[in-house]
Amino acid sequence: MFVSEALAQTAGTAAPASPLGDIGFFVPLILVFIVMWFFMIRPQQKKQKAHQAMIRAAKRGDRIVTSGGIVGTITKANDADNDVEVEIAKDVKIRVMRHAIADIVNRNPEAAKTVAKDAAKDTKEGANDA
C-alpha cells in the first residue's frame, strides 16, 4: 500500500530544459573567469612588468631594499650578470640576485631617466596588447 504511493509520487514530470542546453551550466563559470581576469590577473601582470623594468634599470649608486629587508647601495651592477653587489655598511658588501630587489628607494639621476624612458616604452607596447 505504501509502495504504490511512493512510486506515484516519484513519477512526476521532468524539469523543463534550459534554453541554452548543457552550455548554460558553463556560462556563470565563464563570467566569473572574465571578471577575475579584469580585476585580479591583468593588474597583477602589469605590476609584475613594471617591477621587472625597475629591476633591469637598477644601476650603480641606487639605494635598494631587498626582499629580505636589507637596505644598501649598489656598488657593482653588470647587465649580463643576474646579481648585483650591494654595500650595506662601510666596507661590508654582499652579492644579491636581481630578482631579490624589492624596491629602489633612491636612484641616481641617470637611472631615473632610463626608468622613465622604459616605462613610456612599456606603456606604448601595452596599448598594442589589447
pLDDT attached to residue 101: 93
Instruction: Name residue 93's beta-bridge partners.
Output: 87
Axis-axis angle for helices 109-129, 42-56 (nearest 10)? 150
User: 110 is written with which cell numbers?
Assistant: 641617470
In this prediction the pTM is: 0.58
pLDDT attached to residue 118: 57
Cβ atoms of residues 108 and 47 within 8 Å:
no
What span, in angstroms and rounded, lies between the C-alpha atoms of 57 and 111?
6
Q: Averaged in consecutive runs of 10 residues, what is the pLDDT profile of the chain (130 residues)?
A: 57 58 81 90 92 90 92 89 91 92 80 56 53
What span, in angstroms and rounded, lies between the C-alpha atoms of 111 and 123?
18
pLDDT attached to residue 112: 53
Q: Which residue ranges form the domains of the chain, and what is each CATH number?
A: 25-129 (2.30.30)
